[in-house]
Amino acid sequence: MAIFSKTQPAQDIRTENAVNKVVEIPINSIVPNPAQPRVVFDEYELSRLAVSIQQNGILQPLTVRRLENSTDYELIAGERRLRACKLLNMSFVPCIIITATVKDSAVLAVLENLQRQDLSFMEEAYAIKNLIDYYGLTQEETAARLGTAQSTIANKLRLLKLTDEEKAMVVKYKLTERQARALLRLESEKRPDAIHYIGTNQLNTAQTDTYIDELIKGKPGKPKVRRSWTYRAVNLYINTFNKTIDAMKEAGINCETVKNRTDDFVEYVVKIPLKQG
């Protein structure tokens, strides 16, 4: 794989046949893509990427398209790399110039991020909505361009029915996409408390569905959260309990224990004398 260092001399980007070849473009000539789906950029991760670029160069050129009647270029892929290069105060970055329409550029920008699978599902939903609204695509056209089912597009868009406060809470409590979509079954005034309960109790998808069903039925109180214990974890607690009993006996406490184990549970009866015999 070729490595493109920031120390490479600038090339004439107006030379013939520059399209689809790696050329260096002034960083100030690259403008953001209005369809960029990513809205959150981790500053720490950007700093790490900047250090890597400083030490090793850019391993993958950015992808851009030349804007009509302008000397500027629109970024299609490489937003994080571009931001990291700006942190390093680089003047030029290696790019591949492709020929693309405005609509194609937007679709490619979304695809590039979706294929990396590191967008949040909320960012995906906003990106799809921007494609539809800004470029006048139908859900069917969007699904075809993104290579997915129309039902998937519809489900993503449903998430945007949550209020901004609810979306922020969903992200804060790290709810899954299915859990966030299940919240739409509730009346809006019940959602914040529900998000808080689901998040703080770390409900899984099935537990979330059960909990929301109970809320819809109007049953008082909260459903019990059933914890899933592994056999190994249970034995760990049993061993700890046995060691506690042994320690009491070694200390001269003449306690009596009766252990009863069935397929469903382990029962201990412990008698601790209050007087020394």
Could you list the pLDDT tens digit for every one of the 277 residues in the chain? 444 444 344 444 444 445 568 899 999 999 888 766 666 677 888 888 899 899 888 888 998 988 888 889 999 888 889 999 999 999 999 998 988 877 777 777 776 666 555 668 888 888 788 778 877 888 998 888 777 889 999 999 999 999 999 998 998 898 999 999 999 999 999 999 999 999 999 999 999 999 999 998 886 455 555 454 454 556 666 767 777 777 777 767 777 777 766 556 667 777 777 776 5
Is residue 107, in this structure, part of any structural domain at all? no
Which helix (H) or strand (E) covers residue 43, if one does? helix 43-56
Radius of gyration (C-alpha) of the chain in whole angstroms: 29
pLDDT of 114: 63
Torsion angles phi and psi, residue 131, rounded to 5 = -60, -45
pLDDT of 234: 62
Asked if 187 and 207 sit in the same domain, the reply is: yes
Task: In whole angstroms, give the CA distance from residue 272 to residue 146.
Answer: 69
Task: In whole angstroms, give the CA distance from residue 62 to residue 116.
Answer: 15
pLDDT of 132: 83
Cβ atoms of 33 and 102 within 8 Å: the answer is: no
- Quote the number of domains for the chain: 4
Q: Could you tell me the residue range of the domain that residue 150 belongs to? A: 120-161
Asked if 157 and 167 sit in the same domain, the reply is: no
Asked if 224 and 266 sit in the same domain, the reply is: no
Annotated active-site residue 79? The verdict is: yes
pLDDT of 123: 81
Q: Which bin fits 227, alpha (ψ -120 to 50), beta or left (φ > 0)?
A: beta
Is residue 11, in this structure, part of any structural domain at all? no
Asked if 29 and 77 sit in the same domain, the reply is: yes
Is residue 69, in this structure, part of any structural domain at all? yes
Asked if 87 and 135 sit in the same domain, the reply is: no
Task: In whole angstroms, give the CA distance from residue 175 to residue 165.
Answer: 14
Asked if 90 and 36 sit in the same domain, the reply is: yes
Which one of 74, 79, 123, 166 is the catalytic residue? Answer: 79
